[in-house]
Amino acid sequence: MSRERDKDWDQDLYKKVDRYRLVENLEQCLQCGKCTGNCPVAAITPSYNPRQVINDILRGSPVRLLNSEEIWRCFWCANCYRLCPVDIHYPMLMMQIRYYALENGYGLKYVVPINKYAFRALDEGLTFVPGRKGIEKIKKLREGIGVDSWPEVSDKAKQEYRAIFEQTGVVDWMRALEEKTEKPLSLSYLEGKIGTRGEAC
Ligand code: SF4
Ligand code: SF4
């Protein structure tokens, strides 16, 4: 993470990030570390520390926090929330941290590369479709356990999916992200680092 400077500190950071007051008891964090101890990402990525993220939010270190790769690691399994003794909804906090980061010009390099998956979901109802060989393998496995060979997404489901994307403004947001990219980016994921064009960010 970047080191913070005195002039960057913002005591109201947590109020700005959680501007709709969606995360109860945030100021009551005990810094007990149960969230970190039970996080599957932290288990395989020692630099990722939800307790530290909350500490940064409460102390008010925006540059250190928003400029960090760490805020893009959580995948919202909610294990931390399940075990937090004061019921802090960390996944909800993380969602807001990411919005706040993007609004302030941080983190685009982590988001833009995965925009193409969102566009695919918009068109096909699935974020990821394997290649021909992968599909054949999946079909055999599914037939082996007695379910439909391939989970087709119905036209009705696709239409509903698209309507939700459009009505919630997500499509506009995705297009705006595309325009912010000066050149096409491709995603790589090596040793726990998201990179573009093979470079670790
Ligand atoms: S488990 Fe809850 S109280 Fe403990 S450090 Fe994490 S957020 Fe704070
Ligand atoms: S929601 Fe995020 S921070 Fe919490 S346990 Fe899951 S991956 Fe870790």
Using one digit for the tens of pLDDT, what is the confidence trace for 97-149? Answer: 988 888 888 888 888 888 888 898 898 888 887 888 999 999 999 999 999 88
Tell whether ligand 2 has an atom less than 6 A from the beta carbon of residue 77.
Answer: yes
Number of H helices, E strands in the chain: 12, 3
State the ligand closest to the CA atom of 49. Answer: 2
How crowded is residue 138: how many other Cβ atoms within 10 Å of its Cβ? Answer: 14
Q: What is the DSSP letter of 25?
A: T
Would you place residue 17 in the very low, low, confident or very high pLDDT band (cuts 50, 70, 90)? very high
The answer to whether residue 191 scores a pLDDT higher than 80 is no
Rounded to the nearest 10 degrees, the angle between the axes of helix 155-167 and helix 170-179 is: 70
Shortest-distance Cα residue to atom 2 of ligand 1: 84
Best mutation site among 18, 35, 38 for ligand 1, i.e. most ligand atoms within 8 A of its Cβ? Answer: 35
Spatial neighbors of 53 by CB under 8 A, at least 6 apart, are 65, 70, 71, 94, 97
Shortest-distance Cα residue to atom 6 of ligand 2: 77
Minimal CA–CA distance to 14: which of 93, 107, 91?
93
State the ligand closest to the CA atom of 52. Answer: 1
pTM of the predicted model, to two decimals? Answer: 0.75
What's the 87 CA to ligand 1 centre distance in angstroms? 8
State the ligand closest to the CA atom of 95. Answer: 2
Residue boundaries of the structural domains of the chain? 6-106, 110-200
CATH 1.10.1060.10 is held by the domain 6-106: yes
